[in-house]
Amino acid sequence: MSQDFSRRDFLKVSSTVGVGLVISVALPYKERLVAAGIVENSFEPNVWIKISPDNKVVITLAKSEMGQHIRTSIPMIVAEELNADWSQVNVVQADTHPDKYGSQSTGGSGSIRRSYMRLRKAGATAREMLVSAAALKWEVPASECKAYMSEVIHSKSKRSLKFGDLISLAGKLDAPIDPILKDEKDFTLIGKSLPGLDTVSRVNGSAKFGQDIRLPNMLYATVLKCQTFGGSLKSFNAKKANKINGVKYVFEVEGGIAVVATNTWLAIKGQRALDVEWDHGDFHSWDSKKIKNMMETKSQDKAVIAKEVGNTKNLKNNISIESNYEVPFTSHATMETMNCVAHVNKNSAELWVPTQSPQRIQSSIAEKLNFDIEKVKVNVTLMGGGFGRRLWSDFIPDAVEISKKIKKPVKLLWTREDDMKHDFYRPASLHKLKGSLSDKNELISWEHHIVSPSISGQRSPERFKNGQLDRSAVNGANNLPYDVPNILVDYVMSNTEVPVGWWRSVYNSQNAFANEVFIDELAYKAGVDALEFRMTMLNNSPRHKAVLRLAAEKAGWGKPLAKGQGMGLAVHESFGSWSAQVATVTVSKTGELSVDKIVASIDCGIVINPDGVKAQMEGSIVYGLTSTLKGEITIEKGAVAQSNFHDFELLRIDEMPKVEIHIVPSIEPPSGAGEPGLPPVAPAVANAIFNANGKRVRKLPIKSKDLKV
Amino acid sequence: MPKFTLRINKKTHRINIDADTPLLWVLRDELGYTGTKYGCGRGLCGACTIHIDGEATRSCMTAVDNVDGAEITTIEGLSTDNSHPIQKSWISEEVPQCGYCQPGQIMTAAALLDRNADPDDEDIDSAMKMNLCRCGTYDRIRKAIHLAAKEQK
């Protein structure tokens, strides 16, 4: 057997009696992996398989669970190749480590698509080693043995051994460099709607979210921050707060004023009792109107070209139409507000955080405290929603600072008001579109001019100081799928003090709204059915066509509708997946809108857990509908005007349309599922409204007063 | 500090605490019933819903001095073995996504089923519409309540 070094580094195999076979795909050795041809070119999430003598398989998850059921789907992939008995599989959350697992960030609908092959290889490696171990024991060729339901079977001699009985021998074997993956048609787990491994804990209160962490001697804290963006603390008086029995400390931290008490209620009461004078800064004079005006003015500035095909100018014999679209800031509003439990000791720190980005927390806190990175332990808890908000760790340093100062563990909790006013909001945007039809009603020209704040530009302005393009901001606009001979997509950055961030589907939500409503306007202008108009221009995009066809067919596109009803459709590709949606709405004469039904299709390649994909689609539709119909963040006096769910409303169950999800069968590699269902929602609803009563919606959220006939 | 006697999930707790403390924080911080969640603190989202004498109630808006002696049930006390019809149907329909709002949804749904053994969609919407879910599990909540009603028959 070869003692190939790089191979040994790839799979560190150890077997100790009582501990079991531990196969870890050690990813810090990127170059060696690439050289060995084992991975292509990135260090990504990876897996730990631990099989114990009792035949239990524990799969370590280095991604964060926020409701997308990654704690079920990633183990499914590993267990599939391992041929493990699913009922014996458990999942544990990985510790946070700079490089042991590759990237531990969870976002961009990327957990499965970026790790699918690597997870399969990790499972297959373990399976081949167990099979080899059994073959050695029985002195038969490995090719005569196979793994099945956590056993290795030699059918010729009718012998079988449990994985757990093979671990010590398997652990002495070299790992195969290139394990043979299963044929997809032999999958027994992938493609099945298996129940979530965590579901039971979520119906009996035992699931532990960040806010549920309790430590001995722990105190509870709030932090009051200046609501005006860019403002700072001038002075404060804590007399009243300190008088509250149970308020232990009030002091200034980097983010504002910390109130530390013996329970959360007292910390909230203390916060409310503070007398504070803020220096509101320059942004205090800004409001939504001023931002809108600034964006309008900016729209005249020189734009950065994102895509240019042919020449959109000087076209002859054409009919042109122009439309402007507006999308507001909106908030993530995760049901669980931001929070962090921190326990800082003299030489070490431990944190419990519901986070999508644990490694960034670990490294930044190690730096802040001047500790070695291994002295900062970051425990990733379950999250009450993420949606991109928990990629940010803005609330962590305050928790750490408080614990360090009081020398006790502390739970920092943001109230809903803190959370609403200190988000990283989905960027507001302005879209100016111009399209031209030939005299044969073919779309011959498309211009999409985008004005919006840049998430990357706000984070790292130096990257854009010479007018570079923020490619993220044109996502979903620069990849227009339609065959148009002349295209121009460009972008103007319009940053303000309002913090902007990655919000479910990121810029795809705004850009798809503009694209797909405008294409509907052009179809109408051309006098062509909205589905047909799209289909004739999708000759280079078969997967767009397939999702459109599926959604339209299932929804009964073109069927007669009741009075006041309308049907609209939209299609969009994002995160490597395709989704089309057909919305059916009813609009009353007075403008009252009811979204009756949404029929959605998705092509996300091979599906690991169909019910999980359906849930993600349902979730994307509800999240998208909230931002289509409500959920607007506005700015007054340089601060967010909304504060809680009375003025930042979410969709409610009585507004929930009937939803149907149809998955395109596919053998393509898996792609994103958490976000691609969102971008088509708003344009499908807007187009359905036009179909219902001829009112063209170009601004979100849709308001009833604008729909009156 | 005043003394209260709380009956929670059929157990008796004696506690010294400010009379204005919302029950939510007594449950979570003082007694460790963390299944009941904080979402808004103003009775707007339903994440903190518990039963007080069988009625679905917002624990964030209920001061502890109002429940002295009352029968309080939290998600932890709905059943000892996940066997409440609503819990069973929630599992069967795979309702939860992140799960954070679900204790509140479940407690509201359980109270609905107690007073209406066979709710229609309208009954469900009217009972459940003050419980927010950001993950978008509404469609499954409806299905699960229907299923629980059917199974209970």
Whether residues A578 and A663 fall in one domain: yes
Out of A94-103, A340-349, A515-524, which region has the weakest mean confidence (pLDDT)? A94-103
- Residues A27-85 have pLDDT tens digits of 344 445 444 544 333 212 245 698 988 888 999 999 999 999 999 999 999 999 999 99
> Which residues, other chains included, contact A433 with Cβ-Cβ below 8 Å and sequence gap of 6+?
A322, A323, A324, A325, A446, A447, A448, A449, A514, A515, A518
Copy the structure tokens of residue A240: 């009243």
**Packing angle, helices A163-170 and A116-138, rounded to 10:** 90
- Rounded Cα–Cα distance for residues B88 and B47 (Å): 20
Q: What is the pLDDT of residue A36?
A: 52
Whether residues A500 and A624 fall in one domain: yes
Task: Go through the domains of chain B in sequence order and give each one's CATH number.
Answer: 3-77 (3.10.20.30), 85-152 (1.10.150.120)
Whether residues A178 and A91 fall in one domain: yes
Q: Is residue A420 part of a domain?
A: no
Q: Domain tally for chain A? A: 3
Whether residues A144 and A70 fall in one domain: yes
- Residue carrying the six token digits 């795809």: A508
Q: What sign does the CA torsion over A397, A403, A409, A413 have? A: negative
Strand A219-224 and strand A159-162: the pairing is unpaired
Q: What is the pLDDT of residue A33?
A: 45
Q: What is chain A's Cα-based Rg?
A: 28
Question: Between chains, do B25 and A263 touch, taking CB under 8 Å as contact?
Answer: yes
Average pLDDT, rounded, for chain A: 93
Q: How confident is the model at residue A18 (pLDDT cuts 50, 70, 90)?
A: very low
Q: What is the pLDDT of residue A174?
A: 86
Q: Is residue A205 part of a domain?
A: no
Q: What is the pLDDT of residue A14?
A: 38
| Mean of pLDDT values over A102-109 | 94
Provide, as residue numbers in chain A, all residues whose Cβ is less than 8 Å from the Cβ of B98.
66-67, 334-336, 382-386
Whether residues A255 and A157 fall in one domain: no
Phi, psi (rounded to 5 degrees) for B82: 60, 30
| Mean of pLDDT values over A217-234 | 98
**A360 pLDDT exceeds 60?**
yes
- Residue B128 has its nearest CB partner, among A207, A208, A653, at A653
Chain pair A-B, CB pairs under 8 angstroms: 185
| Mean of pLDDT values over A118-123 | 93
Q: What is the pLDDT of residue A41?
A: 30
- Residues A461-511 have pLDDT tens digits of 999 999 999 999 999 999 999 999 999 999 999 999 999 999 999 999 999
| Mean of pLDDT values over A329-333 | 98
- Rounded Cα–Cα distance for residues A626 and A426 (Å): 13
Question: Between chains, do A246 and B18 touch, taking CB under 8 Å as contact?
Answer: yes
| Mean of pLDDT values over B90-108 | 98
- Residue B129 has its nearest CB partner, among A196, A413, A652, at A652
Q: What is the pLDDT of residue A709?
A: 84
Please give the residue of chain A at the shortest CA–CA distance from B105: A203
What is the domain-level CATH number for residue A234?
Answer: 3.30.365.10
Whether residues A479 and A582 fall in one domain: yes
- Residues A239-248 have pLDDT tens digits of 999 999 999 9
**B2 pLDDT exceeds 60?**
yes
Q: What is the pLDDT of residue A32?
A: 52
Whether residues A26 and A172 fall in one domain: yes
**A346 pLDDT exceeds 50?**
yes
* DSSP labels, B48-117: TEEEETTEEEEGGG-BGGGSTT-EEE-GGGS-SSS-SHHHHHHHHTT--SS-SSHHHHHHHHHHHHHH-S
What is the residue range of A53's domain?
5-196
Q: Is residue A144 part of a domain?
A: yes
> Which residues, other chains included, contact A131 with Cβ-Cβ below 8 Å and sequence gap of 6+?
A142, A145, A146, A147, A152
> Which residues, other chains included, contact A444 with Cβ-Cβ below 8 Å and sequence gap of 6+?
A315, A318, A436, A437, A438, A484, A485, A486
| Mean of pLDDT values over A297-309 | 97
Q: Is residue A409 part of a domain?
A: yes
To the nearest whole Å, the CA of B102 is away from the closest chain A CA by 7
- Residues B112-151 have pLDDT tens digits of 999 999 999 999 999 999 999 999 999 999 999 999 999 9
Whether residues A303 and A393 fall in one domain: no
SS (H, E, C) A278-334: EECCHHHHCCHHHHHHHHHHHCCCCCEEEEEECCCCCCCCCEEEEEEEEECEECCCC
Q: How confident is the model at residue A169 (pLDDT cuts 50, 70, 90)?
A: confident
| Mean of pLDDT values over A285-305 | 97
β partners of residue A148 = A151
Listed residue (A587, A664, A581) closest to A620, CA to CA = A581
Helix, strand or coil, per DSSP, at residue A117: helix
Q: What is the pLDDT of residue A694?
A: 97
**Cβ–Cβ under 8 Å, residues A213 and B41:** no
Q: Is residue A677 part of a domain?
A: yes
Residue at which a domain ends, from A196, A224, A258: A196
What's the pTM value of the predicted model, to 2 decimals?
0.93
- Rounded Cα–Cα distance for residues A119 and A134 (Å): 23
Q: Is B19 on the interface with A (CB under 8 A)?
A: no
Residue at which a domain ends, from A161, A196, A231: A196
Whether residues A633 and A672 fall in one domain: yes
Q: Is B39 on the interface with A (CB under 8 A)?
A: yes
Q: How confident is the model at residue A316 (pLDDT cuts 50, 70, 90)?
A: confident
SS (H, E, C) A341-367: EEEECCCCEEEEECCCCHHHHHHHHHH
Q: What is the pLDDT of residue A424?
A: 98
Q: Is residue A419 part of a domain?
A: no
- Rounded Cα–Cα distance for residues A370 and B50 (Å): 44
Half-sphere exposure (CA, 13 Å, Cβ side) for A372? 3
To the nearest whole Å, the CA of B118 is away from the closest chain A CA by 18
- Residues A640-687 have pLDDT tens digits of 999 999 999 999 999 999 999 999 999 999 999 999 999 999 999 999
- Residues A563-613 have pLDDT tens digits of 999 999 999 999 999 999 999 999 999 999 999 999 999 999 999 999 999
Copy the structure tokens of residue A545: 């066509």
Residue at which a domain ends, from A413, A444, A468: A413
Whether residues A492 and A572 fall in one domain: yes
Q: How confident is the model at residue A19 (pLDDT cuts 50, 70, 90)?
A: very low
Q: Is residue A495 part of a domain?
A: yes
Question: Between chains, do B1 and A245 touch, taking CB under 8 Å as contact?
Answer: yes
Whether residues A384 and A525 fall in one domain: no
Q: What is the pLDDT of residue A318?
A: 83
Whether residues A34 and A124 fall in one domain: yes
Out of A1-10, A244-253, A444-453, which region has the weakest mean confidence (pLDDT)? A1-10
Q: Is residue A203 part of a domain?
A: no
> Which residues, other chains included, contact B74 with Cβ-Cβ below 8 Å and sequence gap of 6+?
A205, B8, B9, B27, B33, B35, B36, B50, B51, B103, B107
Q: What is the pLDDT of residue A167?
A: 87
Q: What is the pLDDT of residue A168?
A: 84
- Rounded Cα–Cα distance for residues B113 and A319 (Å): 60
Counting every residue, how long is chain B?
153
Provide, as residue numbers in chain A, all residues whose Cβ is less than 8 Å from the Cβ of B44.
644-646
Q: What is the pLDDT of residue A307?
A: 98
